[in-house]
Amino acid sequence: MFGLDEEILAEIKTHLEARLDELLTQGDGKVDPNRADASEVPDEDTQPYTEMNQVITSRQNRLNAEELDRVESALSRLANNRDEFGMCEECEEPIKTGRLKIMPWARFCVPCKEMNSDVKLGYRRRNTRDYID
């Protein structure tokens, strides 16, 4: 049986609950329509700006929804299977505490995540998003 220290689990739970509250309070960003009225002729100068804002807001809404799912899943795992929280789902070895403190929703250790990642890192610079489970 693995089991993380109760103090670390409490810290992780607090972090997850705070992030959950933040995401729920923030809600979805508003995506403004290209034109308020279909009879309006779009302004050629503002059209690209409006479309760019729509793309950015839509992407941020999607990323927030994905993070919300990860946070809720981690809280559920923590509540239902506390003794195994922090175990890699692939190799069943403990995930490093530092990784769990930064990304408490992590389900895989770094080596397993790298091995199973759809993104092959190659020679490019690594990004924290490469390790999100």
Query: How far apart (Å, rounded) are the C-alpha atoms in residues 117 and 111?
Result: 10
Flag residues of the chain having pLDDT under 70: 1-3, 32-43, 118-133
Domains parsed from the chain with CATH numbers: 6-131 (1.20.120.910)
Tokens 């999607």 — which residue?
62
pLDDT at 18: 93
- CB 92: neighbour CB atoms within 10 A? 11
CA dihedral sign of residues 15, 16, 22, 25? negative
The pTM for the full model equals 0.70
CA dihedral sign of residues 116, 120, 126, 127? negative
pLDDT at 1: 44
